[in-house]
Structure formats: structure tokens, C-alpha cells
Amino acid sequence: MKRVVAVAIGLVCGAFAGSAGAGPLDDPGFAKSLTCSACHGADARGGQLGGPNLLRSQLVLMDQDGEQILPVVQKGRPERGMPPFQLPEADIKAKVDAIGPVNLMAIDEFRSLEERHAHLSAQQKDLVDAMASLRETINSSA
């Protein structure tokens, strides 16, 4: 199954070695027909091709009018498997608008939850360490 997904990604992204200039993304008609949902899912929460959840993306949350998303779409993120898309700015902005309004309070909520997670993780580690120490003490005195 992993191989099928890798081949599908390679075909869509033109990522095969030696296929420079021969991938489907080099065809402007093909690139225009693509939507973000191919990788990011129909609901922008992440897709089967491994695209991240756009609704939780800091970049999307901070974007006001496509000013942050536009360069990412046009330049891509090759290190993360996202090829560049040479689409008109208006097309990209229309796709960004289709995501809909973003809850700006989500940023603060995310930070609060992140802090709580870090605190609880530290407490869990302390408990695990204490249990290991207690077991070692019991085993050495037995």
C-alpha cells in the first residue's frame, strides 16, 4: 500500500528522478485543474497524499488576504513534498477564500493547549521516573 501511495505522489508531483520537465505539473492545463483538496483533503483537514491540515496551519491562521499563502503555493515547499504551482494570483486567492473564515481565537487556544500539554507531559515523566525509582528501591531491598 505504501508503494502505491508513493507512486501516486510521484506521478502527481513529477518527483521521479530523471523526470525533470516531464511531470504532469509541467502541463499548465493539468496544474490549473488541480485543487488543494488533492493533498489537503476536501475539507482542508489533510488528505491521503499527506498534505497537512490547513485549518490548523499557523500560516493560514495568520494570513489575511492570501499574502502569506500565495508565495507558498507559487514557490511550493519541495522539502515537504509540495511542488510549486504557477497559477494566477486570482485563482490562488479564490482557493484561499474557499477555505472560509478562520477562528483567530484558535491561535490563543492552541497556545494554551500546547502549554497544558507540556505541563501534563512533564508531570507524566515525573510520575514514570518516580515509579521506576520506587521499583528500584523495592527490588534492591528485597
Most confident of 40-49, 88-97, 106-115, 127-136: 127-136
H/E element holding 23? none
Predicted TM-score of the model (pTM): 0.45
- Pick 67 or 14 by higher pLDDT: 67
Cell of 61: 491562521
Look-up of cell digits 488543494: 36
Q: Write out 102-134 in H/E/C secondary structure.
A: CCCHHHHHHHHHHHHHHHHHHHHHHHHHHHHHH
Structural domain boundaries in the chain: 2-102, 103-142
pLDDT given for residue 43 in this prediction? 76
> Reduced to 3 states, what is the DSSP secondary structure of residue 66?
coil
pLDDT tens digits for 6-20? Answer: 333 333 343 333 334
Percent of the chain's residues with pLDDT above 70: 71
Cell of 64: 489575511
pLDDT given for residue 126 in this prediction? 97
* Arithmetic mean of pLDDT, 91-111: 75
CATH of domain 2-102: 1.10.760
pLDDT given for residue 114 in this prediction? 93
Distance CA 91, CA 121 (A): 43
Angle CA(126)–CA(127)–CA(130) in degrees, nearest 5?
85
Count Cα atoms within 13 angstroms, Cβ side, for 24. 11
State the amino acid at position 130 in one-letter form. Answer: A
